[in-house]
């Protein structure tokens, strides 16, 4: 097929109902349609799935999509089935399928009905699947959440390391598209190297979130009172408060409730029913605040979260960016407030002490960046973007005045003195 003849805009309208591509989507899709290895780095919500879904739909054969989470795969498959009369247009191949279901999936692939086949990396390692797929027409392999390949990423998964080898066995010249929202230059390098696609066309969107305000406050023993004051000043607005431990989540939720703030706790220790209930209460605005561990947030799409508070500092800048990124999705105000004390860093170091040395070293290096961020007197936004390999000019860049250090410049030693040791 000559890619030049394909009307991408028409396909976008036909399959997704959108009239315009978002950001770099069109360039990415053109690269894929031209059969090139392609690397896409866009923040969450950037529209990465469409970058591989659309070319899969318009190209011959089946695209294999590797994804780490069953829930994510299911969502996408359901959405794709909604745009076609053909149920077999998208399938998930995993170990929970019956023999009959697996047979049906394979038949649909062989018959050219299936345009997207979602697999978890461990399913792809299965010999029988590889043997089957190598005989089929595969348009490309998309690797979603590609940072899982890297030990420097926030979600390292060893199974991702074998992908290159497996893809090679499925076909010698299959184009690979790697997609991620978290790419420090180190993670990027790892992904390209590990997949053996250093020649990939790389597309990187800006990570700047111009409507978010970044602030760090020293963590004193009055932190709870400070949070209560902040939430009361923002009454009626939706917010998330992250704590490190389940215990702290429960305690803080209670303290807020006692102080007349409508808040619910959320953590993995609560039973599934309660978790869903609390999440829905937050989404439906029956409560203003959810106090949560990092278990809360994956796939939560509430556009008008007005503040994200970190009661405890996260373990990496990437986690911090992801978690604060849940504020102001609609482009409106989003206040990101984190409390910092070096004591908390020591606590996080201690948690790691049982882990393998290599992991500890990486964890330590990531934490040092968090320390540097919390203690810096330079623009927070500039710091974050620099961390992601992006230069930012506070004079000309969007949102350049939206952080505490830019608003109230202070000398570094002052900032240090305030921190309770
Ligand atoms: P990511 O994986 O980058 O976090 P998604 O692929 O989940 O982002 O897309 C985020 C949202 O953007 C989805 O609701 C999707 O429907 C929407 N979207 C994607 N492309 C477009 C577009 N061209 N126009 C409008 N909305 C889009
Ligand atoms: Mg995604």
Ligand 1 atom closest to the Cα of residue 22 is 23
| Range 206-209 contact pairs with CB under 8 angstroms and sequence separation of 24 or more | 206/385, 206/390, 207/43, 207/321, 207/384, 207/385, 207/388, 207/390, 208/381, 208/385, 208/390, 208/392, 208/397, 208/398, 208/399, 209/43, 209/324, 209/325, 209/328, 209/334, 209/399
Q: In this structure, what token pair is assigned to residue 154?
A: 């926030």
Q: Is 5 helix (H, G, I), strand (E, B) or coil?
A: helix
SS (H, E, C) 21-62: CCCCHHHHHHHHHCCCCEEEECCCCCCHHHHHHHHHHHCCCE
pLDDT digits 0-9 by tens, 128-170: 999 999 999 999 999 999 999 998 887 889 999 999 999 999 9
- 215: CB partners within 8 A, 6+ apart: 335, 336, 337, 338, 380, 403, 404
Mutate to test the pocket of ligand 1, among 18, 24, 50 (most ligand atoms within 8 A of CB): 50
- Measured from the alpha carbon of residue 144, the closest ligand is 2
- pLDDT of res. 414: 53
Centre of ligand 1 from the C-alpha of residue 46, in Å? 6
Q: Report the C-alpha gap between 179 and 116 in whole angstroms.
A: 16
Nearest CA to ligand 1 atom 2: 48
- CB hemisphere CA count around 146 (13 angstroms): 33
- pLDDT of res. 1: 47
Q: Is the CB of 23 under 6 A from ligand 1?
A: no
Q: Report the C-alpha gap between 316 and 367 in whole angstroms.
A: 6
Q: In this structure, what token pair is assigned to residue 360?
A: 């500890």
Q: Would you say 269 and 249 are in contact if contact means Cβ atoms under 8 Å apart?
A: no
- pLDDT of res. 154: 77
- pLDDT of res. 420: 47
Centre of ligand 1 from the C-alpha of residue 44, in Å? 9
Q: Is the CB of 42 under 6 A from ligand 1?
A: yes
Nearest CA to ligand 1 atom 17: 47
Q: Is the CB of 46 under 6 A from ligand 1?
A: yes
- pLDDT of res. 383: 98
Centre of ligand 2 from the C-alpha of residue 339, in Å? 29
Below-50 pLDDT ranges, the chain: 1-3, 419-421
Distance of CA 34 to the CA centre of its chain: 27
Centre of ligand 2 from the C-alpha of residue 201, in Å? 19
pLDDT digits 0-9 by tens, 4-55: 567 999 999 999 999 999 999 999 999 999 999 999 999 988 899 999 999 9
Q: What is the pTM of this model?
A: 0.84
- pLDDT of res. 421: 42
- pLDDT of res. 47: 94
Q: Is the CB of 18 under 6 A from ligand 1?
A: yes
Q: Report the C-alpha gap between 263 and 288 in whole angstroms.
A: 6
Q: Dihedral angle at the C-alpha atoms of 120, 125, 129, 134, nearest 10 degrees?
A: 110
CB atoms within 10 A of CB 415: 18
């Amino acid at each position: 097929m000559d890619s030049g003849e394909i009307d991408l805009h028409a396909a976008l309208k036909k399959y997704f109902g959108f009239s315009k591509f978002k950001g770099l989507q069109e360039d990415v899709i053109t690269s894929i349609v031209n059969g090139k290895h392609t690397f896409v780095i866009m923040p969450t919500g950037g529209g990465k799935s469409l970058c591989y879904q659309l070319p899969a739909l318009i190209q011959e054969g089946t695209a294999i999509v590797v994804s780490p989470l069953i829930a994510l795969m299911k969502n996408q498959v359901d959405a794709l089935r909604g745009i076609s009369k053909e149920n077999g247009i998208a399938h998930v191949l995993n170990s929970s399928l019956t023999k009959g279901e697996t047979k049906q999936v394979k038949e649909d692939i062989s018959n050219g009905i299936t345009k997207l086949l979602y697999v978890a990396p461990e399913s792809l390692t299965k010999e029988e699947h590889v043997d089957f797929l190598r005989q089929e027409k595969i348009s490309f392999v998309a690797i979603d959440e590609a940072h899982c390949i890297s030990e420097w990423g926030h979600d390292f998964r060893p199974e991702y390391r074998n992908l290159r080898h497996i893809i090679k066995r499925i076909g010698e010249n299959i184009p690979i598209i790697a997609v991620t929202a978290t790419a420090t230059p180190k993670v990027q390098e790892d992904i390209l190297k590990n997949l053996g696609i250093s020649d990939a066309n790389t597309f990187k969107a800006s990570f700047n979130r111009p409507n978010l305000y970044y602030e760090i406050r020293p963590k004193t023993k009055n932190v709870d009172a400070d949070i209560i004051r902040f939430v009361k000043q923002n009454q009626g607005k939706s917010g998330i408060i992250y704590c490190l431990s389940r215990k702290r989540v429960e305690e803080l939720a209670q303290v807020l409730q006692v102080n007349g703030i409508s808040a619910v706790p959320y953590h993995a220790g609560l039973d599934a029913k309660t978790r869903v209930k609390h999440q829905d209460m937050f989404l439906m605005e029956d409560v203003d605040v959810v106090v949560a561990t990092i278990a809360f947030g994956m796939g939560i799409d509430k556009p008008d979260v007005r503040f994200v508070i970190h009661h405890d500092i996260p373990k990496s800048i990437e986690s911090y960016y992801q978690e604060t990124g849940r504020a102001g999705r609609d482009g409106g105000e989003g206040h990101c407030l984190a409390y910092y004390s070096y004591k908390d860093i020591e606590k996080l170091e201690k948690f790691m002490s049982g882990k393998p040395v290599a992991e500890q070293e990486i964890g330590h290096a990531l934490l040092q960046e968090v320390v540097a961020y919390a203690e810096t007197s330079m623009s927070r936004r500039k710091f974050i973007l620099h961390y992601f390999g992006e230069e930012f000019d506070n004079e000309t860049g969007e949102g350049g005045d939206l952080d505490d250090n830019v608003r109230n410049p202070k000398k570094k030693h002052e900032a240090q003195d305030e921190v309770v040791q």
